[in-house]
Amino acid sequence: MKYYSTHRQSPEVSFKTAVLTGLAPDKGLYFPEKIPVMEKSFFEKLPALSLPEIGYHFLKPYVDGDLSDEALKKSMEAVFSFDTPLAEVAENQYALELFHGPTLAFKDVGARTLARFMALFSGQDKTTILVATSGDTGSAVAQGFLGIPHVDVVVLYPKNKVSRLQEKQFTTLGQNITALEVEGTFDDCQRMVKTAFAHDELNRKMRLSSANSINIARLLPQAIYYFYAYGKVARQNKPVVISVPTGNLGNLNAGLLAKRAGLPVKQFIAAGNRNNVFQQYLETGVLKTRASVPTISNAMDVGNPSNFVRIQELYGHSYEDARQAIVPFHFTDDETRQAIATVYRKTSYMLDPHGAVAWLGLSEYMKQHPDDCGIFLETAHPAKFYTVVEKEIGVKVPLPERLSVRLNHKKRSIPVKNDPQELIDFLMEHKK
């Protein structure tokens, strides 16, 4: 399998090169030359397959030539030390719980996979991982790479725009993890990272790579849990629709890749908050990026989604084809809060703000399609947003031990201005 740049100004590369470099030399994102369709026998066995087994079968053609079957199998078994169960919330409505990993967020799947692939590929050469986070990416990547030899991680996050628990998860680790607290938004953090990747002198002095979903090894593994979820409801013989909380578009992109690989999902729902630039694209055919605004579903506060170009590639830059596959909705903070309260009052199920947005999108869609089987993604444990959730449901959210233990550790971060040169200077000085 070869990977090409979405800018089409760089040579095609192997999976290994795409993983180690993260961003193509022409600053495009890497995309596979083809999307292999899974065989009929795979779908016949799907309800009985484990997450590691699905991961092996799905990723095998993408890593062909760079990872042995044994290495891929061992990687998948190591990644999926936890389940991603379906919880029935209401009739024909299921939550795909993606928060049972080490950092209680869906990004554990991609980050743990990337960490293992990076360790296998980098050898003895020092690699510095740059990652911008709007919340959960930072902790997932930091935990995934913590203590891995020859890899340093630098996490950039927007000051006062991630929850206290999210911040504690990646600013208290030390070792090979450094946190930079940026005076700006997530989009500013992402811009600073991209500028560093484009800096010739910096790239001559050190090997830089990305752990955001711009790295293809972060994106591809997320398709695995879509197959897994479908397998759990396949025997109902109902059309399946999936609602995805939408921000930087990596999670949605992975689901659409799964659909292109043969997953028989009837419809994907892109559920967003006030930062609804992608929803506006699906309604108008024009992507108008803008500065993001803060919301209670902060991981979705993205005004210039990086993975938009990959969705364009997937649909041949056809806005009409994308609109056929994806139904958009967006919701306010007040609607999100109301959803948290309503679902808990009716079912005793606790939603986090991102899962609440996804539930709202699914609920809106199912008003017109009540006989479909609906799945919405619960991407983070509600305890990570306990101040919001507890206010709406009126009870205390149980705090898992692996979250509470970090609260007692001292935050260690370095304040930086909203200026790409500050990141470049830091890397030049401190990462020699």
At residue 308 the predicted structure's pLDDT band, cuts being 50, 70 and 90, is: very high
Topology classification of domain 83-103+219-399: Rossmann fold (3.40.50)
Q: How confident is the model at residue 203 (pLDDT cuts 50, 70, 90)?
A: confident
Cα–Cα distance measured from residue 273 to residue 299, given in angstroms and rounded to the nearest whole number: 10
224 phi, psi to nearest 5 deg: -60, -45
pLDDT tens digits, one per residue of 157-199: 999 888 788 888 889 888 899 999 999 988 899 889 989 888 8
Averaged pLDDT, 374-387: 94
Lowest mean pLDDT among 50-64, 117-131, 351-365: 117-131
pLDDT higher at 391 or 411: 391
Query: What average pLDDT does this structure show over 362-388?
Result: 95
Mean pLDDT in the chain?
A: 92
Which candidate, 213, 181, 165, places its Cα nearest to that of 417? 181
Rounded mean pLDDT of 65-92?
Answer: 96
pLDDT at 84 over 60: yes
Around Cβ 401, how many Cβ atoms within 10 Å? 7
Q: Which residue has the higher pLDDT, 206 or 263?
A: 263
395's tokens: 């009870």
| CA-based end-to-end distance of the chain | 34
Q: How far apart are CA 156 and CA 130, in angstroms?
A: 8
Report the alpha-carbon distance of residue 53 to residue 283 in Å, rounded. Answer: 38
Kind of pairing between the strands at 177-182 and 151-158: parallel
Q: Angle CA(146)–CA(111)–CA(361) in degrees, nearest 5?
A: 140
**HEC-encoded secondary structure of the chain:** CCEEECCCCCCCECHHHHHHHCECCCCCEEEECCCCCCCHHHHHHHHHCCHHHHHHHHHHHHHCCCCCHHHHHHHHHHHCCCCCCEEEEECCEEEEECCCCCCCECHHHHHHHHHHHHHHHHCCCCEEEEEECCCHHHHHHHHHHCCCCCEEEEEEEECCCCCHHHHHHHHCCCCCEEEEEECCCHHHHHHHHHHHHCCHHHHHHCEEEECCCCCHHHHHHHHHHHHHHHHHHHHHCCCEEEEEECCCCHHHHHHHHHHHCCCCCCEEEEEECCCCHHHHHHHHCCCCCCCCCCCCCHHHCCCCCCCHHHHHHHCCCCHHHHHHHEEEEECCHHHHHHHHHHHHHHHCCCCCHHHHHHHHHHHHHHCCCCCCEEEEEECECHHHHHHHHHHHHCCCCCCCHHHHHHHCCCCCCEEECCCHHHHHHHHHHHCC
Residue 27 or 61, more confident: 61
Extents of the domains making up the chain: 83-103+219-399
113-152 pLDDT, tens digit each: 998 998 888 777 788 988 888 777 888 888 888 888 888 9
Give the model's pLDDT for residue 168: 87
Residue 50 pLDDT level (bands cut at 50, 70, 90): very high
User: What is the model's pLDDT at position 432?
Assistant: 53
pTM: 0.89
Split at pLDDT 50, 70, 90, the class of 362 is very high
Q: Sorting pLDDT into bands at 50, 70 and 90, what band is 15?
A: very high
Q: pLDDT digits over 329-343, tens only?
A: 999 999 999 999 999
